[in-house]
Amino acid sequence: MTTIPAALAARLVTDPDVKATYAVDESVGAVPPGDFEVVRARDLADVVEVMRHAHETRTPVVPQGARSSLTGGSVALEGGIVLNVEALDVVSEVDPLEGLAVAGPGVINADLKAAVAEQGLFYPPDPASSAFCTIGGNVATNAGGLCCVKYGVTADYVRGLQVVLPGGEVIRTGHRTAKGVAGLDLTGLFVGSEGTLGVVTEVVAKVVPAPDPALTVLGTFDSLEDASAAIAALRRERHVPSLVELMDRASIAAVQALADYGYPGDCEAALIVQSDRPGHTAEDVALYADILEKAGATEVAVADDVQEADLLLAGRRALSPALEAKGPRFLEDVCVPVGRLTDLIRAGQAISARRGVEITMSGHAGDGNLHPSIFFDADDPASRENAEEAFGEMVATALEFGGTITGEHGVGSLKARWLAQELGERELERQRAVKALFDPHGIMNPGRVYWS
């Protein structure tokens, strides 16, 4: 049975129903184990105590924030401790001169954005779950989102971390200064490590001057190839769009079924493109509209005030709940070279047709990061198995096209069995050896990412 030090008794979640909610995340098919404990840490000392105890007793630890993981990275493990850090939610510092902000891992992404915005600053990483996902989880999965085509991913905005290692040692990585090359920078190891090395307890984030509120242009296309040509042309623009999103017909239909967000129904693909360039958003979206038209868009709508622009983007942001509402699904997160995006979508359509499984296609087209949703009937095991096999085929296709099995959601549990295919067994062994340096007893999220 999972044991917890007496000092942490007051941090334990004891109500069975509440505890059950901490057992799972947003990943498909997550099932609570029989025996586990949930500790809701209130401060660094709580985290240290859990990590000391778990290391000594060889107890598995699952670091957890808002439980918005889509890959099973924060589901409770049998005999383990769920170490929830959502209460470490203070933005302790915002410094415009140094261009940094310091946040606890439990700070909601949107709250960090809001806190720095008060000082005219911007924290770019922008997962679709921005309103409820935490910075700690963003760091764990090197989260990206809609802004990455212009601004990059979470790793590009982490200057340094405070991390608690198994055994309870508290370390700092990286630096607070703008530059620094004294010793190895371990920061990049922890970003994207999905809770397999330690628990992040503080993030020193890089922030930049705030852009303008974005304006939006929406283009619809009868042909995927035309949409692809538009993406390629946009990638050549000196004024990089702050967002280049793609939705296929089924995705748009799902969104419009929720509410009228102003999207046309009849097209093979829609591109949503934004500019947030200070002082020049209207100029940019007019240019982007022209690019979409020249690439063969059948209809182009420019949202030239912020309200209308927000409505179009709200539609894109409603896509996750809209697809959620359609029923159970496997959610893909493959990323390929931008030049192979159309090939990937065509391959997805072929898989859908061959298997008779519904697949919607959408994602961060400017990055080559696609999020197909593969639907199944929860009451029909054969349907689920068929969808899961389609999921695997998408992964294999992405690898074949020079891509990766995960762009921003992480490997978690759902994709662990494909990691060796991407990295090779030898590289996997090397990475396990790196993990063992920090976590010699293998207590951190065991079985996840590295499979064994």
343 binds its own copies (CB under 8 A): no
Q: Pick the closer one to its own copies by CB: 106 or 211.
A: 211
Q: Pick the closer one to its own copies by CB: 148 or 243.
A: 148
Of 47, 205, 405, 443, the one binding its own copies by CB under 8 A: 405
CA distances from 285 to 89, 221, 260, 430 (A): 37, 17, 22, 47
313 binds its own copies (CB under 8 A): no
Q: Pick the closer one to its own copies by CB: 270 or 398.
A: 398
45 binds its own copies (CB under 8 A): no
What are 82's strand-pairing partners? 38, 62
Tokens of 351: 């898989």
Of 90, 117, 155, 258, the one binding its own copies by CB under 8 A: 155
Tokens of 334: 């493959």
Q: How far is the CB of 279 from its own copies (least distance, A)?
A: 8
Q: Is the separation of the CB atoms in 189 and 53 below 8 Å? A: no
Of 411, 414, 443, 444, the one binding its own copies by CB under 8 A: 411
Q: Is the separation of the CB atoms in 395 and 407 below 8 Å? A: no
Of 92, 209, 213, 377, the one binding its own copies by CB under 8 A: 209
Antiparallel, parallel or unpaired: β 170-174 and 199-206: unpaired
403 Cα distance to chain centroid: 17
The span of 49-57, 105-113, 342-350, 428-436 binding its own copies (CB under 8 A) equals 428-436
Site pattern 218..247 for its own copies (x: CB under 8 A):
--------------x--xxxxxx-------
Instruction: Give the phi and the psi of residue 108 in degrees, each rounded to 5.
Output: -70, 140
Q: How far is the CB of 424 from its own copies (least distance, A)?
A: 9
Closest CA to 258 of 358, 327, 330, 325: 325
Site pattern 3..42 for its own copies (x: CB under 8 A):
----------------------------------------
208 binds its own copies (CB under 8 A): yes
For the segment 251-280, give every residue that binds its own copies (CB under 8 A). Answer: 278
Q: Pick the closer one to its own copies by CB: 87 or 396.
A: 396
**Strand blocks (E) in 170-327:** 170-174, 199-206, 208-209, 215-221, 243-248, 269-275, 299-303
Of 21, 78, 131, 180, the one binding its own copies by CB under 8 A: 180
Q: Pick the closer one to its own copies by CB: 199 or 336.
A: 336
Alpha-carbon gap, residue 318 to 184, rounded angstroms: 42
Alpha-carbon gap, residue 74 to 448, rounded angstroms: 9
Alpha-carbon gap, residue 89 to 82, rounded angstroms: 17
Of 18, 58, 120, 378, the one binding its own copies by CB under 8 A: 120
Alpha-carbon gap, residue 73 to 2, rounded angstroms: 20
Q: How far is the CB of 131 from its own copies (least distance, A)?
A: 21
Closest CA to 166 of 80, 56, 39: 56
- Looking at this protein, which amino acid is placed at residue 375? F
Q: Is the separation of the CB atoms in 359 and 374 below 8 Å? A: yes
Of 64, 74, 141, 352, the one binding its own copies by CB under 8 A: 141
389 binds its own copies (CB under 8 A): no
Strand order in the sheet with 80-84: 36-40, 80-84, 61-64
Alpha-carbon gap, residue 442 to 58, rounded angstroms: 8
The answer to whether the Cα torsion of 296, 301, 304, 310 is positive or negative is: negative
Q: Pick the closer one to its own copies by CB: 110 or 232.
A: 232
Of 185, 268, 299, 324, the one binding its own copies by CB under 8 A: 185
Q: How far is the CB of 369 from its own copies (least distance, A)?
A: 5
242 Cα distance to chain centroid: 17
Q: Pick the closer one to its own copies by CB: 239 or 346.
A: 239
136 binds its own copies (CB under 8 A): no
Q: Pick the closer one to its own copies by CB: 196 or 360.
A: 196
Closest CA to 105 of 93, 88, 119: 88
93 binds its own copies (CB under 8 A): no
Site pattern 320..339 for its own copies (x: CB under 8 A):
---------------xxxxx
Q: How far is the CB of 129 from its own copies (least distance, A)?
A: 15
Of 6, 17, 118, 181, the one binding its own copies by CB under 8 A: 181
Q: Pick the closer one to its own copies by CB: 81 or 200.
A: 200
Tokens of 131: 């309103």
Of 17, 184, 379, 425, the one binding its own copies by CB under 8 A: 184
Q: Pick the closer one to its own copies by CB: 100 or 272.
A: 100
Any idea which residue has 């498909």 for tokens?
28
Distance in angstroms between the alpha carbons of the first and the last residue of the chain: 22
